[in-house]
Amino acid sequence: MNNNIIISADCICDLPESLVEEYSIRMLPFYIEMKDVRFQDYTEVDFSSMYDYLKQDDVKVSSVPAAIEDYRNHFMELTKNEDEAIIHICVSRKISEAYNHAVVAAQDMEHVFVVDSGSISHGIGLLVLKAVEMARTHSEPNVIVDELHKAKKRISCSCVLKTTQYIANNKRVNQTISNLLDIFHIKPIIKLKNGAMKVRGVCLGTREYYVKKYIRQIFRNRKAICEDVLFITVLSDSEELRELVYREATEKIEWKHVYMQDVSATNLCNVGLGSVGLMFYTK
């Protein structure tokens, strides 16, 4: 049917630039609002510029998904040829409006397939890689979409937040609860279940202690882990913390591929500085 399949994704899939270029993955930027101005993630702001901005005192930022118009323009720009199909992988619809926007934008475009990843960050990235792999073997778009829906159930996507102020700024948690958690230095472990963010536990104590506790909790059921790819995200400029997370995450499991990867500005402004995340497939 379709000779070519273009794989596209929300820019918050956080794949390494080398992979994006190698596999010609097309990205659709989200937006970051700060003060009275708005920047486009991926093209205008990146992890480091957002990191620098967030390090200042009393700054508030929030993220905005791409609008319907943005999705429409994006799809139209990608579909120069009639025989090309587009598979666009979106952030979980229970977390963002992005999926709904994409579906509305693509309603008149038969060759555009929108997939709800049920995930965030590298969780989406894992699905994108899966889609790329299948597209290379000339699978039909429908088959790829079905496989992605199956695969997304196997993705483990979690993080431990150093502070809940950022998710409170983005109205994902009540400000009072966030303040209380911060007063008592409680670090929640967030895990995605059926596309929605759930608190799977809390950590206390020093950075080293809570990071170790989080990693051990996530890797508790080792038999269920697919030891193929692991994405590690450490939203800090501390080399010590990065080394600690890498060491802990790779100590007992022999991963085939480990990517230590920064996230997009959108994800950074949602989970905040100091957070640590792990994403991988389960069996």
Partner 1 sequence: MSKVNRVLEYISHVREKSKVVNQSGLYTAFSLISIYALIMSAVCFIKSDIIMGVVNAIIAVTMIVTMLLFARIKSPKMLSWFVVSSIYVLMMFFMYQGGVGGVSIMWLLFVPVGGMALINLYYGGILSFLIGVSIPLYMLTPLHRLGYQYSEDYRIRFPIIYWAFLIMSLVIFIRIDRFEEEQKELIRKADDANRSKSEFLADMSHEIRTPMNAIMGLCELNMNEDLSSLVRDNSENIYRSSKGLMNIINNLLDFSKVESGKMELQCSEYKLSDVLEDVMYMTTARMGDKDLEFVVDCDPDIPNLLYGDEVRIKQIIINLLTNALKYTEKGGFLLTLTGRKETYGINLAVSVKDSGIGIQKEYIGKIFDTYRRVDIKKNRSVEGTGLGLPITKRLVTLMNGVIRVKSEYGKGTEFKIIIPQRVIDETPIVTVGRSKTIRILYYHVEEVPDFIGESYYHSFKSVIRKWNASGQVCHSLEQFKNCLSNGTYTHIIIGKDEYLADRGYYDALSKSYHLAVVQERMAPVSVGGNIQCIYKPFYTRNFSDFINQHQRYLKKRKLPATFAARGARILVVDDNLLNLKVMEGHLKPYEVQVDTAMNGMEAIEMIKQMKYDLVFMDHMMPEMDGIETHHNICLLQRDYVETMPIVALTANVAGDARQLFMEEGFQDFMSKPIQSDGLKEMLLKWLPKDLIINKEEYDE
- Sites of contact with partner 1 (CB under 8 A): 34-40, 43-46, 48-50, 53, 237
CB of 68 to partner 1, least distance (A): 17
Distance in angstroms (rounded) separating the CA atoms of residues 63 and 118: 18
Q: By C-beta, is 53 or 75 nearer to partner 1?
A: 53
- Beta carbon of residue 246, minimum distance to partner 1 (angstroms, whole number): 16
Would strands 61-64 and 31-34 be described as parallel, antiparallel, or unpaired? antiparallel
Least separation in angstroms between CB 238 and partner 1: 11
Q: Closest approach of Cβ 248 to partner 1, in Å?
A: 23
Q: Identify the residue whose tokens are 């790779």.
A: 250
Q: Hey, what are 91's tokens?
A: 């952030």
Shortest Cβ 18–partner 1 spacing (Å) = 12
CB-nearer residue toward partner 1: 55 or 154: 55
Cβ atoms within 10 Å, residue 233: 24
| 205/213 Cα distance (integer angstroms) | 10
Query: For residues 155 and 265, which CB has a smaller minimum distance to partner 1 in the complex?
Result: 265
Nearer to partner 1, 237 or 240 (CB): 237
**Residue 172, phi then psi, degrees to nearest 5:** -95, -10
> Of 45 and 225, which has the nearer Cβ to partner 1?
45
Residue 56 or 206: the one with the smaller Cβ distance to partner 1 is 56
* In the complex, minimum distance from the CB of residue 51 to partner 1, in angstroms, rounded to a whole number: 9
